[in-house]
Chain A
Amino acid sequence: MGFHDVQFPLDAEYGSQGGDGWNTGIIELDSGTEERVARWSNPKRSYDVSYAVKTRTVLRAVLDFFNARQGAANSFRFRDWMDYASTADGGVISFGGVTYQAAAAGAANITNADQQIGTGNGTTTTFQLVKKYTSGSQTYTRNITKPVSGSLLISFDTGAGPVNQSSGFSVDTSTGIVTFTTAPANGTLIRAGFVFDVEARFSDDTDKRGIRWQFSGGDQVGTDAIVLVEVPSSSFVDEDDMPGGSADLGVVTASFTVNLALGRVQRWTVNTASLNATMPDGNLFSDGDRHLFVVNDGSQSIQVKRSNGTNEFVIAAGAKVRFVLVTQTGAATGKRWYGF
């Protein structure tokens, strides 16, 4: 089934309860230490909207919405009122003749310079909307795939500050990809401000059980939990193909020990000759495929070694390598990392 480009009833979103969840696999080793693996590259959000369904009018709207979506079969737009704008907090936002205020009074409104979505190179015309979340020295970048129509603001910065762009671009509100009619010039910082929704569906449980309501007399109603879950965008790493998310190690300037917990898809930019990448002890893992996929985007090759220092194979500059762990008999008996 697909995505219905319709908004979950806003009346039923106020008062909703929700949050972001991750999926961290924790392997406890015999020694008592542990290895943690981030299976998802992005959090998955879930919400319970039953707190907002207190009147027959709202309940009727939610029931109609639920059946029109065929339960969990089709996804839709949901406004996460804790995180719906390109600013840290949404402030008061007016567009399309409607004013929204979910944040505290005085919170900053969106501007055309909230989020940098890319840098021009004179040829690229499409850029994905993103929002960055920073704490300490770590930043998580989220692809925004369901911007709200009419909310997008764009600015170009060539070094003298943001200059608003009132035309010359469009946005696909089903993907969050901004397309410019003329490619931004080389070095131009492209920034954006926007309001966005989460693509969500009804949970499996709500799908099967239905929305269980209780009539309390007059206009008063109540319901059991009505749970919505986020539908991951295609930017998620395919869990069946490569569990564990992805990591970009950037430019590698020294030999290092490979950390699978960073992600099972890794990009190494090896620009220094004669470096080694030492794999973790194979005895900590089961034999099999799909342990790691590495892209070497650098100009130099790198030697992959076993944990005991034995050479395994070389990853050439520009190569993409899939790691398979096998138990080998005969010569070089033991756990071996094979590269393909």
Chain B
Amino acid sequence: MISEAKYQGLSREFFTTGSQLGWGTRVFLISATAAGNIFTLPDARSLPKGYTVLVGGVGANSFVVKDAGGNTLEASHAQFTWTWFTLFINTTAAGTWLLDARTRLT
């Protein structure tokens, strides 16, 4: 049988408040309840290098994305924007994340 992890096919979460993103999910559709809500990536030390997370803004309010060390990665993630975060270094909680912003096709 094909394992779920092989497809990285874990279910998305739908946030309405600022919080730390869980490591078990790869696709996050985020709807912030207020502009400037902060969403924090998982502790990089708990993840393998190369781990990817896709963050999409689906609500009207923009939000902030930070690493687990409190560093701002995206100061204003707007609605209808999408960014892949790929873990490059995982020796610290913050780690080093590479950002790849894309436009969703319509």
Q: Which residue numbers of A lie inside 8 Å of B, CB to CB?
A: 25-28, 37, 39, 240, 243, 285-291, 313-315, 321-322, 324-329, 338-340
Extra pairs beyond A26-B1, A285-B9, A326-B12 (4, CB < 8 Å): A27-B2, A286-B4, A288-B8, A324-B27
Name the one of B4, B11, B14 contacting A329, with C-beta atoms under 8 angstroms. B14
- Stretch in B36-44, B66-74, B98-106 with 4+ CB within 8 Å of A: B98-106
Name the one of B1, B29, B105 contacting A326, with C-beta atoms under 8 angstroms. B29
Roughly how many angstroms separate A289 CA and B54 CA in the complex, as a whole number?
Answer: 8
Using Cβ atoms and an 8 Å threshold, which residues of chain A touch B9?
285-291, 325
Name the one of B2, B7, B26, B82 contacting A340, with C-beta atoms under 8 angstroms. B82
Roughly how many angstroms separate A291 CA and B6 CA in the complex, as a whole number?
Answer: 10
What are 27 A-B pairs at a CB distance below 8 A? A25-B1, A25-B6, A240-B50, A243-B6, A243-B7, A286-B4, A286-B10, A286-B11, A287-B10, A287-B11, A287-B12, A287-B27, A288-B7, A288-B8, A289-B26, A289-B54, A291-B9, A313-B104, A313-B106, A315-B105, A322-B102, A326-B12, A326-B27, A327-B12, A338-B105, A339-B104, A340-B102
Interface string of B67-106 (1 = CB under 8 A from A): 0000000000000001000000000000000000011111
Q: Verify B1–A290 contact, CB threshold 8 A.
A: no
Using Cβ atoms and an 8 Å threshold, which residues of chain A touch B103?
340
Interface string of B1-27 (1 = CB under 8 A from A): 110101111111010000000000011
B62 within 8 A of A: no
A137 to chain B, nearest CB (A): 28
Using Cβ atoms and an 8 Å threshold, which residues of chain A touch B6?
25, 39, 243
B51 to chain A, nearest CB (A): 10
Roughly how many angstroms separate A25 CA and B106 CA in the complex, as a whole number?
Answer: 32
Roughly how many angstroms separate A339 CA and B2 CA in the complex, as a whole number?
Answer: 23
A67 to chain B, nearest CB (A): 31
**With A325-B9, A328-B29 in contact, do A289 and B52 touch (Cβ < 8 Å)?**
yes
**With A26-B1, A37-B2, A326-B27 in contact, do A340 and B8 touch (Cβ < 8 Å)?**
no
The residue in chain B whose Cβ has the minimal distance to the Cβ of A37 is B2
The residue in chain A whose Cβ has the minimal distance to the Cβ of B28 is A326
Using Cβ atoms and an 8 Å threshold, which residues of chain B touch A25?
1-2, 6
Q: Verify A286–B7 contact, CB threshold 8 A.
A: yes
Q: Verify B8–A290 contact, CB threshold 8 A.
A: yes
B31 to chain A, nearest CB (A): 9
Give the 9 A-B residue pairs with the shortest CB-CB distance, closest first: A286-B9, A288-B9, A313-B105, A339-B105, A25-B2, A340-B102, A287-B11, A288-B8, A290-B8
The residue in chain B whose Cβ has the minimal distance to the Cβ of A285 is B9
Greatest chain A CB density within 10 A among B7, B26, B52, B54 is at B7
B98 to chain A, nearest CB (A): 14
Using Cβ atoms and an 8 Å threshold, which residues of chain A touch B102?
322, 340
Roughly how many angstroms separate A288 CA and B28 CA in the complex, as a whole number?
Answer: 9
The residue in chain B whose Cβ has the minimal distance to the Cβ of A26 is B1
Using Cβ atoms and an 8 Å threshold, which residues of chain B touch A329?
14
Using Cβ atoms and an 8 Å threshold, which residues of chain B touch A338?
104-105
Roughly how many angstroms separate A290 CA and B12 CA in the complex, as a whole number?
Answer: 14
Q: Verify A321–B52 contact, CB threshold 8 A.
A: no
Roughly how many angstroms separate A27 CA and B105 CA in the complex, as a whole number?
Answer: 29
Q: Verify A314–B105 contact, CB threshold 8 A.
A: yes
Roughly how many angstroms separate A270 CA and B63 CA in the complex, as a whole number?
Answer: 39
Roughly how many angstroms separate A340 CA and B104 CA in the complex, as a whole number?
Answer: 5
Using Cβ atoms and an 8 Å threshold, which residues of chain A touch B2?
25-27, 37
B104 to chain A, nearest CB (A): 6
The residue in chain A whose Cβ has the minimal distance to the Cβ of B14 is A329
The residue in chain B whose Cβ has the minimal distance to the Cβ of A315 is B105
Roughly how many angstroms separate A326 CA and B12 CA in the complex, as a whole number?
Answer: 7
The residue in chain A whose Cβ has the minimal distance to the Cβ of B48 is A240
Q: Verify B10–A324 contact, CB threshold 8 A.
A: no
Roughly how many angstroms separate A221 CA and B4 CA in the complex, as a whole number?
Answer: 46
Using Cβ atoms and an 8 Å threshold, which residues of chain B touch A328?
29
The residue in chain A whose Cβ has the minimal distance to the Cβ of B100 is A340
**With A25-B1, A327-B12, A339-B105 in contact, do A288 and B27 touch (Cβ < 8 Å)?**
yes
